[in-house]
Chain A
Amino acid sequence: KAGVTQTPRYLIKTRGQQVTLSCSPISGHRSVSWYQQTPGQGLQFLFEYFSETQRNKGNFPGRFSGRQFSNSRSEMNVSTLELGDSALYLCASSPQFERTGELFFGEGSRLTVL
């Protein structure tokens, strides 16, 4: 069974640009979560999608947005990039939107903002 696939794996952008990251969950998984990881900050929750609906949202500015498609694939977009947006963006999938159950993480998309 293929794991969670994130594309692109690495990208470099400049301030003010926008970026779109993609996540394909494990086949059959319907819930997708996004996390931002920076050194020393752990994993900061961005948002969680299930059945094409955003179910939870973290404390990030409106420049961060996401969506989920009918095939459960998800994208996140960051507009007007800032230097502080440089991070590893991790996508995780799980079978259902529920109170228990492990998350399966992808390898991440490493964004560098110059």
Chain B
Amino acid sequence: GQQVMQIPQYQHVQEGEDFTTYCNSSTTLSNIQWYKQRPGGHPVFLIQLVKSGEVKKQKRLTFQFGEAKKNSSLHITATQTTDVGTYFCAGRASGSARQLTFGSGTQLTVLP
């Protein structure tokens, strides 16, 4: 079945440093989504990428979808303490309306 792998599992950064998490799928994706889960909270949708090579920005967050539509990344510039949480990618296999498969997440800790 479809597998979505995400690295790193944990990342500690000093406030102001950059952060990147990577997501790789075993199959080609029709789209990829990113979610953020704050400690004790539930996942909240951040963005969806659909096109090959697509790059989207949300303030300090930059999202990329690979040319082959099998990988993606999330980059945060100049992290803040409010960025703390677990970031999940989630992909839906192309070709049919299959379920959204989540990566294992990257837990970000920002040290003040």
Q: Which of chain B's residues has its CB closest to A45's CB? A: B99
Per-position binary interface string of chain A over residues 55-71, scored 1 when its CB falls under 8 Å from any chain B CB and 0 otherwise: 11011000000000000
B residues within 8 A CB of A59? Answer: 1
Number of CB contacts from chain A to chain B under 8 A? 61
Residues facing B in A74-100 (CB within 8 A) are 90, 92, 97-100
Question: Lowest 8 CB-CB distances: which A-B pairs, in order?
Answer: A42-B104, A102-B45, A43-B102, A105-B42, A56-B99, A45-B99, A105-B43, A42-B105
B→A interface (CB under 8 Å) = 1, 6, 9, 30-31, 33, 35, 41-45, 48, 50, 88, 90, 92, 96-105
Number of chain A interface residues as a range: 20 to 34
Q: Which of A41, A103, A106, A107 contacts B100 (CB 8 A)?
A: A103
